[in-house]
């Protein structure tokens, strides 16, 4: 689990940001674990290739060149909003806010299997030869926390890999703190059942008294002073965190917006409402992992229709989040990003599912200074390779950093003699989608 968090300026050698005036204060990063099919969601292709055999590579680690059958897409696409951007019938609610969204259809990364690709997309580096931190940790490291009672980097939902939470060589202080959308958002946050608040209060007082002689004796030892501070922070968190997860002050129409109380959307809706509440408290980077664990449930090899329930579970909450942020005037300062480790292939290695496709896939961004109603980049006519404005995944990192007022070139640290960078490759921010 994540450790405590550092306040801005408290980390030695921090790359103190912002480097220029930021557009966004917080990022809500929605990560769909397992690989969403761009072809069936935001990157429509006509079915003229369906049933045809095309040159491809094997499944997973089998990178042999081979021929494979393209499978048809059974979705219907509707053009939404003033921008008229087509969105499939799996995401009608997201379609209804498409004018706030910039769709980038030309992302790519190198790795074609889940864990390597998750690691590549979250750290900007392939493999784990070095203990590279996840993207959110860099932000936490560069900006520190803006809220003394809550962490700068929070993760909600089970990730595909613990690497998505790691502070790596930046240290545990900047790692993700996992929050659950339940009663206990952080492990050990609340006293055990049967422990009354007033009793705990008395205990804390008694603890102070009983610690006094020791603390006086070792007064100059900074670790002892830090321990007193750690207890204070723990106590502040005990107060602040439950308030964040307590939705009793949310009116019904807001709960409805997120689909809370509806069977299919309740879980994810709660997670997104929690995300909004964390953003309100100035948490900088809120990562939400959907359908994580193992390969991720978006991994639709057998049947692409297994996307359907996952789309239903996320569509309404996501649109609700964007609407809610907008009606509160928060969308301008909150960057919402939707992504996967990779997309899916036009063909199948079985009959009705799709394979992993890192060569061309879709991410989208909303709010936080992004030009809504935009489509940028394109894959080829079958949906395999990014051919127009291809962007290496690090460009997404660079874009998010820019909106937070951070120069991606300055996101580097010397770790005992070697310069480690968040962004090693790519072309920098995707300027075409920024307003």
Partner 1 sequence: MVTNANPERGGSNRLSPCLLAHPIRLPWLTFCAFLFLLVSFSSPAFPVSTNKDLKTLWVLKPVVRPEVPAGVTQSTNPIDAFIATQYRAKSLLPAQPADKRTLLRRVCLDLTGLPPTPAEQEAFLQDTSPDAYEKVVDRLLNSEQHAVRYARHWLDVLRYADVDDRMLAAPGIYLWRDWVIKALNEDMPYDQFVRAQLTGYRTDARTQITATGYRVPAEPRPEDLFALGFLARGGSPSNVKDDQELAISAVETVSTAFMGMTVGCAKCHDHMYDPISQRDFYAMKALFDPLVLRKVTLATAGELFAQGKAQEEADRKRAAIEGPMNELIAPYKKKLYEDRVAMLPPDVQAVIRKPEKQRTAREQKIADDYYPILRIDPEKIEEVMPEDEKKKYIEMRKQIEPKAGGRRRGGGLAAFWTVEVDHARELEKSYILTSGNPERPEKNHEVEPGWPFAPSKPDFHEGRVEAFSDWLTAPENPLFARVAVNRLWQWHFGQGLQKIPSDFGLLGGTPSNPRLLDWLAAEFASRHFSMKEMHRLMVTSDTYKLASTASSEMAAGNAKIDPDDTFLWCFRLQRLEAEPIWDSIFTAAGSLDLAVGGPSFDIRSRGEKRADKEEPDELAVDAHPSRRAAYMTRGFSSNRDAMPSFLQAFDVDDGRVPCPLRTQTVTAPQALFLMNGEEVDKASAQFAERLRKESGGDLKAAVDLAYQFAISRPPSSSEREHALAYLENDPARLKNFAWLLFNLDEFVYVR
* Strand 101-108 to 361-366 pairing: antiparallel
In the bound state with partner 1, the residue whose beta carbon lies nearer, of 313 and 319, is 313
Nearest approach in angstroms of CB 4 to partner 1 is: 4
In the bound state with partner 1, the residue whose beta carbon lies nearer, of 132 and 402, is 132
Nearest approach in angstroms of CB 255 to partner 1 is: 24
12 makes contact with partner 1 (CB under 8 A): yes
For residues 352 to 391, the per-residue mask of contacts with partner 1, x marking binding by CB under 8 A and - elsewhere, is ----------------------------------------
Nearest approach in angstroms of CB 222 to partner 1 is: 2
Tokens 């359907």 appear where?
Answer: 308
Q: Which of 13, 198, 248, 252 binds partner 1 (CB under 8 A)?
A: 13
Q: Which stretch binds partner 1 (CB under 8 A): 42-50, 62-70, 94-102, 371-379?
A: 62-70
Render 83-151 in DSSP notation, one character per residue.
TTEEEETT-HHHHHTGGGEEEEEEEE-S--SHHHHHHHHHHSSSSSSS-PPPHHHHHHHHH-BS-TTS-
Question: Six-digit token pair at 316?
Answer: 């309404």
Q: Which of the residues 76 through 105 are near partner 1 (CB under 8 A)?
A: none
Q: Residue 153: which of 169, 163, 141 has the closest Cα? A: 141
**Residue 283 near residue 328, CB atoms below 8 Å:** no
The rounded Cα 98 to chain-centroid distance in angstroms is 19
Tokens 């989608």 appear where?
Answer: 433
Q: Which of 162, 328, 424, 435 binds partner 1 (CB under 8 A)?
A: 162
8 makes contact with partner 1 (CB under 8 A): no
Question: Six-digit token pair at 384?
Answer: 């395999």
20 makes contact with partner 1 (CB under 8 A): no
Q: Which stretch binds partner 1 (CB under 8 A): 6-14, 253-261, 397-405, 424-432?
A: 6-14
Residue 234's Cβ-side half-sphere holds a number of Cα atoms within 13 Å equal to 14
Q: Which of 29, 42, 59, 342 binds partner 1 (CB under 8 A)?
A: 59
Tokens 């990364």 appear where?
Answer: 109
In the bound state with partner 1, the residue whose beta carbon lies nearer, of 63 and 388, is 63
Q: Which of the residues 248 through 287 are near partner 1 (CB under 8 A)?
A: none
Tell me how far apart the alpha carbons of residues 1 and 179 are, in angstroms, rounded to a whole number. Answer: 10
Q: Which stretch binds partner 1 (CB under 8 A): 53-61, 101-109, 374-382, 396-404?
A: 53-61
Tell me how far apart the alpha carbons of residues 432 and 121 are, in angstroms, rounded to a whole number. Answer: 21
Nearest approach in angstroms of CB 357 to partner 1 is: 15
Nearest approach in angstroms of CB 386 to partner 1 is: 25
294 makes contact with partner 1 (CB under 8 A): yes
**Residue 409 near residue 425, CB atoms below 8 Å:** no
Torsion of CA 54, 57, 60, 63, to 10 degrees: 170
In the bound state with partner 1, the residue whose beta carbon lies nearer, of 48 and 195, is 195
* Strand 65-69 to 374-376 pairing: unpaired
Tokens 């709660």 appear where?
Answer: 270
Q: Which of the residues 171 through 230 are near partner 1 (CB under 8 A)?
A: 171-173, 180, 184, 186-192, 195, 199, 202-203, 206-207, 209-211, 213-227, 229-230
Q: Which of 48, 53, 385, 435 binds partner 1 (CB under 8 A)?
A: 53
305 makes contact with partner 1 (CB under 8 A): no
Q: Which stretch binds partner 1 (CB under 8 A): 277-285, 321-329, 346-354, 382-390?
A: 346-354
Tell me how far apart the alpha carbons of residues 249 and 409 are, in angstroms, rounded to a whole number. Answer: 42
424 makes contact with partner 1 (CB under 8 A): no
Residues contacting residue 90 through CB under 8 Å, at least 6 positions apart: 40, 41, 75, 307, 308, 311, 312, 315
419 by Cβ neighbours in 10 Å (0-12 / 13-18 / 19+) ranks as exposed
What are the Cα distances from residue 323, in Å, to 115, 217, 367? 33, 56, 11
350 makes contact with partner 1 (CB under 8 A): yes
Nearest approach in angstroms of CB 181 to partner 1 is: 12
243 makes contact with partner 1 (CB under 8 A): no
Q: Which stretch binds partner 1 (CB under 8 A): 19-27, 80-88, 101-109, 169-177?
A: 169-177
Nearest approach in angstroms of CB 268 to partner 1 is: 15
In the bound state with partner 1, the residue whose beta carbon lies nearer, of 64 and 253, is 64
């Amino acid at each position: 689990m994540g450790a405590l968090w550092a306040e801005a300026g408290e980390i030695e050698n921090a790359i103190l940001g912002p480097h220029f005036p930021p557009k966004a204060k917080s990022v809500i990063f929605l990560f769909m674990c397992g690989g969403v099919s761009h072809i069936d969601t935001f990157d429509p292709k006509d079915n003229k290739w369906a049933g045809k055999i095309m040159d491809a590579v094997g499944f997973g680690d089998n990178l042999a060149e081979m021929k494979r059958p393209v499978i048809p897409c059974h979705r219907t696409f509707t053009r939404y909003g003033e921008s008229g951007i087509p969105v499939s019938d799996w995401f009608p609610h997201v379609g209804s806010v498409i004018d706030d969204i910039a769709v980038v259809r030309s992302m790519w990364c190198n790795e074609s299997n889940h864990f390597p690709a998750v690691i590549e997309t979250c750290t900007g580096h392939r493999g784990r030869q070095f203990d590279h931190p996840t993207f959110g940790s860099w932000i936490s490291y560069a900006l520190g926390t803006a809220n003394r009672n809550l962490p700068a980097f929070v993760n909600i939902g089970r990730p595909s890999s613990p690497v998505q939470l790691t502070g790596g060589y930046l240290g545990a202080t900047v790692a993700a703190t996992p929050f659950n959308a339940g009663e206990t958002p952080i492990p050990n946050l609340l006293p055990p059942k049967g422990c009354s608040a007033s009793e705990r209060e008395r205990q804390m007082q008694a603890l102070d008294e009983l610690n006094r002689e020791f603390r006086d004796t070792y007064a100059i030892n900074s670790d002892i002073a830090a321990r007193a501070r750690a207890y204070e922070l723990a106590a502040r968190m005990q107060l602040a965190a439950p308030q964040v997860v307590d939705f009793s002050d949310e009116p019904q129409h807001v709960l409805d917006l997120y689909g809370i109380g509806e069977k299919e959307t309740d879980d994810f809706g709660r997670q997104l409402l929690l995300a909004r509440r964390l953003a309100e408290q100035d948490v900088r980077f809120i990562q939400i992992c959907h359908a994580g664990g193992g390969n991720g449930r978006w991994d639709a090899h057998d049947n692409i229709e297994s996307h359907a329930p996952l789309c239903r579970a996320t569509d309404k909450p996501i649109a609700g989040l964007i609407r809610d942020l907008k009606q509160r005037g928060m969308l301008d300062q909150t960057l919402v990003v939707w992504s996967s480790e990779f997309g899916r292939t036009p063909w199948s290695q079985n009959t009705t599912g799709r394979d992993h496709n890192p060569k061309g896939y879709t991410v989208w961004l909303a709010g936080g200074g992004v030009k809504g109603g935009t489509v940028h980049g394109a894959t080829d006519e079958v949906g395999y390779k990014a051919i127009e404005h291809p962007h290496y995944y690090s460009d997404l990192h660079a874009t998010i950093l820019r909106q937070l007022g951070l120069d991606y070139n300055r996101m580097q640290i010397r770790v005992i003699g070697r310069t480690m960078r968040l962004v090693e490759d790519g072309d920098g921010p995707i300027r075409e989608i920024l307003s």
